[in-house]
Amino acid sequence: MRKIDGSDRIKIKELIDNGEDVMAISKILGIHNSTIYREIKRCSNNGEYDPFYYDKNPKQRRKKKSLIESDQILAEFIAKKSFTKD
């Protein structure tokens, strides 16, 4: 499956406004239905899909944490190993 771009977002908005459901939008655009669901959830503002919301709110984009940031036990292990001599 492919990623959603700006023209896809505009098309999703048009299809939602025309009463199409997620499965129909998915088939029309050739994008997996779970991707469409996430897109609608991510770019909805006050219950309405906004195709420009994602671009206007860059903080909405998920930043990946490093492995050490996401795993406290690993971070502690590395910290201990960094300062101890074997």
Please list the residues that pair with 49 across neighbouring strands: 44
Cα-to-chain-centroid distance, residue 86: 44
| Structural domain count of the chain | 1
Taking alpha carbons only, the member of 34, 32, 29, 23 closest to residue 6 is: 29
Q: Which of 6-10, 33-37, 60-64, 77-81 has the least mean pLDDT?
A: 60-64
Start-to-end CA distance of the chain, whole Å, equals 49
Domain enclosing residue 37, as ranges: 6-83
Within a domain: 74? yes
Full-model pTM:
0.64
User: Is the confidence at residue 2, as pLDDT, over 80?
Assistant: no
**Residue 34 lies inside a defined structural domain of this protein:** yes
pLDDT digits over 26-52, tens only?
999 999 999 999 999 988 888 899 998
Question: How far apart are the C-alpha atoms of 38 and 25, rounded to whole Å?
Answer: 13
Instruction: For residue 1, tell me if it sits in a domain.
Output: no
Q: Is residue 42 part of a domain?
A: yes
Residue 50 belongs to a domain: yes
Q: What is the pLDDT of residue 20?
A: 96
- Give the three-class secondary structure for 57: coil
> Quick check: is 32 in a domain?
yes
